[in-house]
Amino acid sequence: MFKSLAGRTAVITGASKGIGRGIARRLGAVGCSVLVVARNTAESESAAREITEAGGRASAFSADVANESETKAMAAAAVDRYGSLDILCANAGIFPAAKLDAMSGSEFDTVLATNLRGTFLSVSACLPALKKAKGRIVVTSSITGPITGYPGWSHYGASKAGQLGFLRTAAIELAPAGVTINAVMPGNIATEGLSGLGPDYIAKMESSIPMKRTAP
């Protein structure tokens, strides 16, 4: 890793809430210039404002990671605003529940487009700048897909397992340029997204965890 994160530029996708917002807030606190990327402009501006009010350096950018031109614009904005692009946190993800007997092809494609295609497009767009900086890429995957499954999330699980397949080859290709790519695989984290799944889901998940609680 870098000896210090101070002065580095970080792009975080899906950064307006949940895990992404937490990543953005933490990187801002240790001295990174943070580009807060999300589809919702008001929410990304709110997250960026939270960082700047705490003394950090951040700005908002609206982009859909499933859109190639928007991810290219995202990468360009980071370099234009802060002079470099050192870190990409490919965190954007969606998880609308749909069981196989009711899932449409369009629903499957939408999840894969954001979670898997969006990871590829984000990495691809940021790669020229990351190579110059010998930068770092961190992908937010999940235990759902690579390790376990859950009813209604076959499309989500496929996208998260696909991310790991993508990064294994990406790691080999990018290593000669000094760029690393890794994934984190969280379970249930206490975010807005988890709350939206309802108390029954949360209670079921907590009962399966040895400490009987989700991660804060």
Task: Please give the positions annotated as active site.
Answer: 156
**Phi, psi angles (nearest 5°) of residue 98:** -160, 120
CB 51 within 8 A of CB 90: no
Kind and range of the H or E element at 122?
A: helix 118-133
Q: How far apart are CA 134 and CA 51, in angstroms?
A: 25
Alpha-carbon distances of 160 from 45, 138, 139, 148, 204, rounded to whole Å = 28, 13, 10, 11, 22
Q: How far apart are CA 193 and CA 158, in angstroms?
A: 19
Question: How many helices (H) and strands (E) in the chain?
Answer: 8, 6
CB 201 within 8 A of CB 28: no
**Phi, psi angles (nearest 5°) of residue 83:** 90, -10
